[in-house]
Amino acid sequence: MKLTKLLVAWVSCLVISSAWATNGSFSHGVGQKAQGMGGAGIAFPQDSLAAGINPAGMARVGSRLDAGLTLFRPVRDAEHEGSVFESMNGKFDGNDTKLFLIPEFGYNNLINEHMSLGVSVFGNGGMNTNYDHGIPMFNGAEAPRRTSMNLMQMFIVPSLAWKLNDNHSLGIGINLVAQSLKVRGIQAFDNELFTRHPGKVTNNGTEYSYGAGLRVGWLGQMNKWLSLGATYQSRTYMSDFDDYKGLLAEGGSLDVPETYGAGIAVAFTPKFTVAIDVVQINFSDVDAMGNGGPTTNSKWNPMGSSSGAGFGWDDQTVYKLGLSYQLNPKWQLRAGYNHGDAPMGRKDTLLNILAPATVEDHATLGATWTIDKKSELTFHYMHAFKNEIKGKGSTPEVVHPIFKLGEANIKMHQDSFGIGYSRNF
């Protein structure tokens, strides 16, 4: 009963909290321990959030409960320069909302020595910008002058994992996903010239979307020092955002992209392990993400149509490196690095003012303090280094090439600090 109440409380926090992503629209890692290792964990499960990385790992973490909270601070800015319309030019601060709290929860129960049943609950990612004084090209002189976008995603992943033998395990999880979207201040595109669905582009409050997908994985302990893992997450088909079907391609569809990856963990000594993951995220398969903006197509297609303008995100390959060192019986130390090329190019910076996912390189630190035989506290810190993408051909020409609308430049850096409590049963 106490566990049920705790889970309900944690899910409630997730529903009302905002999240941001560091690898495109995905977080750099799931669980405090993996986040301290650059997100690596496909072949190195450490807690009951493992189903969010590789569900096969749940067979290896024992019966346990994990609950964590991350304080996240993204710093995002935009600039418009070179327009013949001087009122459009300027620098814009997208940080009217500065701090975000992101909870996570996991529980795993060993049914017997071969099988486990668990659940992992976490904020997978999202997008948030809040330009208090607006973006002139988006809202012109019309109210509201504030330009903002807030996309939140929550994953609940019930999982079943079993050991085929002492060395190999398989896992399966169901991605139960809820997401919300709120957009304000882009009235300039809310008309028949730009969209197939006028009145369904902006300023329609918060709307929710739900969907489900599949997650599977394998984990192999090849010998005493080498572990290998592989995982696959299907595309998660979400219900449409009907109130924003004039903004998002395919009439408001915003699915969660397919991902897959492989990992290796090498225990160089009983105390020191190195884990490496490579993960592929197929953003381009989701039209709202993968379709290019107005300057990347030969002709203008109305927003909201299947071939309408999107954020122009390419598929992303993410490389994750994590180090773990058992300093003494009380302290385990971690460090990591994470890299993924920014998914958008210089031609697609205009709409990405709303979602400037420009960061590419992340450095992480982490530690676990063992309180007693059953309890521990884990900490992580992540810094995503500033990266700017300067637009080139990012805005369309109007009437005649002489009336240039200039270029959109976007940049961002991030910091996060998290703490988690774990208890073994």
Question: Residues 228-260: pLDDT tens digits?
Answer: 999 999 999 999 999 999 999 999 999 999 999
The CATH number for 155's domain is: 2.40.160.60
Beta-carbon count within 10 A of 132 CB: 14
Q: Is the pLDDT of residue 294 over 80?
A: no
Please count the CA atoms within 13 angstroms of the CA of 349 that sit on its side-chain side: 25
Q: Is the pLDDT of residue 300 over 70?
A: no
Residue 298's pLDDT is: 42
Question: Residues 118-165: pLDDT tens digits?
Answer: 999 998 777 889 998 888 888 866 666 789 999 999 999 999 999 999
Higher pLDDT, 400 or 312: 312
Q: Is the pLDDT of residue 269 over 70?
A: yes
Q: How confident is the model at residue 301 (pLDDT cuts 50, 70, 90)?
A: confident
Residue 144's pLDDT is: 66
Question: Residue 273 pairs with which residues in a beta bridge?
Answer: 267, 324
Residue 368's pLDDT is: 98
Residue 293's pLDDT is: 76
Torsion of CA 275, 168, 29, 48, to 10 degrees: -130
Higher pLDDT, 127 or 171: 171
Residue 115's nearest CA partner among 79, 81, 160, 78 is 160
C-alpha distance from residue 5 to each of 8, 11, 121, 159 (Å): 5, 10, 14, 20
Please give the residue range of the domain that contains residue 251.
2-424
Q: How confident is the model at residue 421 (pLDDT cuts 50, 70, 90)?
A: very high
Among 15-29, 157-171, 245-259, 409-423, which is the least confidently predicted range? 15-29
Q: Is the pLDDT of residue 175 over 80?
A: yes
Q: How confident is the model at residue 50 (pLDDT cuts 50, 70, 90)?
A: very high
Residue 47's pLDDT is: 97
Overall number of domains in the chain: 1
Q: How far apart are CA 66 and CA 51, in angstroms?
A: 12
Q: Is the pLDDT of residue 110 over 60?
A: yes
Q: Is the pLDDT of residue 12 over 50?
A: no
